[in-house]
Structure 1
Amino acid sequence: MRFGVHSPSDNPVDHRLIDLFAGPGGLDVAATWLGIETTGIEWDEGAFATREKAEIHSHKGDVRKFNAAEFANASVLAAGPPCQTFTVAGKGAGRLALDTVLAFIKRMSVGDDIKEDLRGLSDERTGLVLEPLRWALDANASKRPYEAIVLEQVPAVLPVWEAMEEVLQGIGYLTTSGVLRTEEYGVPQTRRRAVLLANLSFRPQLPRRTHQHFVRDQEPIPGSPPSWKPMSEALSLLPGSTRNYPFEVVSNYGSGGDPKARGRRHSSEPSFTVTGKVTRNRILDSNGRWRNRFSHAEAGLLQTFPHDYPWSGVGIGQQIGNAIPPRLGVHVLCAALGLEVTPDDLDKVVALPWARSRNSLRPAGR
């Protein structure tokens, strides 16, 4: 079943993707929709349980205990390292250690072994952001470089991606990096992600936005892409949903630094960033009555997972919040690999049940 994804080549090369820090499968769902074979590495029990239920090929364990040679047939490297030490919602150990991380990148570029020095970081999770570079350098040293690389993280990691770009360019890659807004790619949620895209054959461009940037109360701009997608549209994809009424989401987080000033979004607007605490957000209908909070299926839909995605194990809210939205994943993978997809075709595949949506978006010629 082909929904219009196509490649500039008449005979596109089959890709195999290795996904580090794979989580419950956000990027793997995107790859599966595109017909790309994928394998993920994930240590978290809950996320791994979800991956198994979704029948996504996986290896359980710490990424640092694996290496590129064990996945020598992979042509695409993807990674979304843990963001807790870099996100503004955390204590900021990663942001405080930014200069140290950048110095590590320079040392890695000349072959220094930094393993012992990483132990000096105040939070070991900060060093995980360097793992994709280790894998890329190891693959290159073994004469089996990845054809393409896709990295994503919170915006605070952009300087790390920019430093890695220099190293990757030094071993033959053409690269780009920047910060993307998820609502500009049809995700019913405002979320910003820093991405790095690299390819050995051509210079990737950041994916062209398909929807408008969300600005409250702003009228559609003539000649611009379609408006962002609202929560109501996403939640309508849940079969048997009773969430067919106007509502407001009262955020679990304070607005403007004031914990008492909870931000609000109407159902006709995109969601706030879906975090691990998404199910704590309160739902208020137009009559002033509190309604049931978001279910896991609803929270997954706001991330553009299939409505029947088999969330499993413990910490499901955290799994959902930590994942890259699959719809955004399609756009960044296509940009890194020179493929194209239309918003209408993505609308169709996102609306399908997981079993039917697998391998639904296929590049022309396959």
Structure 2
Amino acid sequence: MITELFRGPGGWAEGLRQLGLSDVGLEIDTAACDTARAAGHTTIQTDVAAYPTAPFTGRTRGLIASPPCQAWSRAGKRGGLADQPLVHQAVHDLAHGRDTRAELLAQCKDERSLLAAEPMRWLYDLRPEWVCMEEVPDVLPLWKQYALYLQRWGYSTWAGILNAADYGVPQTRQRAILIASRTRGVTAPDPTHAKSPAEDLFGDCLKPWVSMAEALGWGATDRPAPTVTAGGAKSGGVEPFARGGRDALRAAQVRGCWTWKPGRPRTLTPSSIAIDAVEAGLLQSFPADYPWHGAKGKAQEQAGNAVPPLLAAHVVSAATGIPVQAPADLAAA
């Protein structure tokens, strides 16, 4: 089986679906569990830190994880920053078969910080064929620590930063990614899109970035949206139009999410958080009919925090060698 830790509403699972795969996910949040189950993804509601690995031992081919990373969060008072050395220590200890989580947790300023070390407990016990992990860019040093131990165990690894827009997701979302495999050499997945596509020596050309307008069906083409957060579109910054002009502007004004910024011709700037869970899901590359559950705020939080399915599909493809299927091929299947 493929085992997923910290499933959320099912971003990784939707990506796996594009590869003809499925997984069993563990998640503690009730609304996220309801969403994932409604979408057809097998989900166990549980605390990952308390769940035993024994039921999965000898049965897990792939392990996926997007753990909460409060120790690297830029939000709020950032009290968990002091916990980073404790997380690294927990990963080191678990990689050597020593469970010091209780001792280290007692020293943490944020009790959620050590969740970022949980995947190592599962990796040590399960030794899956392949591994895929994702988090915010600041977590990259932790992923490199994981990669060091995985290499010692015989895995080929790659750890780096990927931009979701380079894989067809209509937002410029930077993520720290770890890919590992015991059976094949791994590297970063080849991008399918580019900000300014150019033909190579063979006449091939990547697709242009998918715009927010295209994703939301506004009938215009601009640049991708800024990163979608738990509350919706991130305010601040300016997104220039590549094409679309005044018609796109009028469509945006009707939507109420974007306004014209005086003195900057042919640009739009986000002025308020005004997208719902369905729209946030579309900007994450979820299907338009994805069954978001929970109150409005919880649904938006799920969509904003999820792994973009298209990015997930390409990351798992790099780990497994299974090609990402085009939407038409998926429909036919």
TM range, normalised to the smaller chain?
A: 0.7 to 0.9
Q: CA 1:220/1:334 → structure 2, altered by over 3 Å: closer, same or farther?
A: closer
The aligned residue for residue 232 of structure 2 is 278
Across the aligned residues of Structure 1 and Structure 2, the Cα RMSD in angstroms comes to 2.4
Alignment of 1:130 onto 2:117: yes
Alignment counterpart, residue 322 of structure 1, candidates 285, 296, 305: 305
Gaps of 5+ in 1: 1-15, 140-144, 237-242, 247-266, 361-366
The C-alpha deviation readout for 1:48-105, integer Å capped at 9, x for no partner, is 1111211211100100121222123221100001134423234334443323322332
The aligned residue for residue 207 of structure 2 is 226
The aligned residue for residue 96 of structure 1 is 82
* Contact 2:132–2:315 (8 Å) recurs in 1: yes
User: Which secondary structure does the structure 1 equivalent of 2:229 belong to?
Assistant: coil
Alignment counterpart, residue 150 of structure 2, candidates 168, 182, 199: 168
* Contact 1:279–1:296 (8 Å) recurs in 2: no
Q: CA 1:49/1:211 → structure 2, altered by over 3 Å: closer, same or farther?
A: same
* Contact 1:18–1:40 (8 Å) recurs in 2: yes
The aligned residue for residue 286 of structure 2 is 305
The aligned residue for residue 346 of structure 1 is 326
Gaps of 5+ in 2: 237-247, 257-273
Partners of 1:331 and 1:80 in 2: how far apart? 16
Question: Quick one: higher RCO (CA 8 Å, sep 6+), 1 or 2?
Answer: 1
Partners of 1:129 and 1:165 in 2: how far apart? 14
Partners of 2:83 and 2:70 in 1: how far apart? 13
TM-score, normalisation: structure 1:
0.75
Partners of 1:229 and 1:97 in 2: how far apart? 38
The aligned residue for residue 62 of structure 2 is 76
Alignment counterpart, residue 111 of structure 1, candidates 61, 74, 97: 97
Partners of 2:12 and 2:136 in 1: how far apart? 15
Alignment of 1:155 onto 2:142: no
Q: CA 1:95/1:337 → structure 2, altered by over 3 Å: closer, same or farther?
A: farther
Q: CA 1:280/1:155 → structure 2, altered by over 3 Å: closer, same or farther?
A: closer
Partners of 1:77 and 1:174 in 2: how far apart? 15
* Contact 2:72–2:84 (8 Å) recurs in 1: no
Partners of 1:288 and 1:46 in 2: how far apart? 31
Alignment of 1:64 onto 2:49: yes
Partners of 1:197 and 1:326 in 2: how far apart? 16
Alignment of 1:192 onto 2:174: yes
* Contact 1:175–1:197 (8 Å) recurs in 2: yes
Alpha-carbon distance, 1:135 to partner: 0.3
Residue 60 of structure 1 aligns with an amino acid whose one-letter code is Q
The aligned residue for residue 87 of structure 1 is 73
Alpha-carbon distance, 1:46 to partner: 1.1
The aligned residue for residue 255 of structure 2 is 291
Partners of 1:52 and 1:108 in 2: how far apart? 31
Alignment of 1:17 onto 2:6: no
TM-score, normalisation: structure 2:
0.82
Alignment counterpart, residue 52 of structure 1, candidates 23, 37, 40: 37
* Contact 1:327–1:346 (8 Å) recurs in 2: no
Count of aligned residue pairs for this structure pair:
297
Residue 302 of structure 1 aligns with an amino acid whose one-letter code is L
User: Which secondary structure does the structure 1 equivalent of 2:293 belong to?
Assistant: coil
User: Which secondary structure does the structure 1 equivalent of 2:72 belong to?
Assistant: coil
Residue 291 of structure 1 aligns with an amino acid whose one-letter code is R
Residue 106 of structure 1 aligns with an amino acid whose one-letter code is H
Partners of 1:268 and 1:348 in 2: how far apart? 25
Partners of 1:80 and 1:112 in 2: how far apart? 22
The aligned residue for residue 6 of structure 1 is none
* Contact 1:24–1:50 (8 Å) recurs in 2: yes
* Contact 2:70–2:81 (8 Å) recurs in 1: no
The C-alpha deviation readout for 1:171-228, integer Å capped at 9, x for no partner, is 222211111001011111000111111111122111011111x4xxxx6544352221
Residue 216 of structure 2 aligns with an amino acid whose one-letter code is L
Mean CA deviation greater in 114-123 or 85-94: 85-94
Residue 322 of structure 1 aligns with an amino acid whose one-letter code is N
Partners of 1:195 and 1:41 in 2: how far apart? 20
Q: CA 1:150/1:234 → structure 2, altered by over 3 Å: closer, same or farther?
A: same
Alignment of 1:33 onto 2:33: no
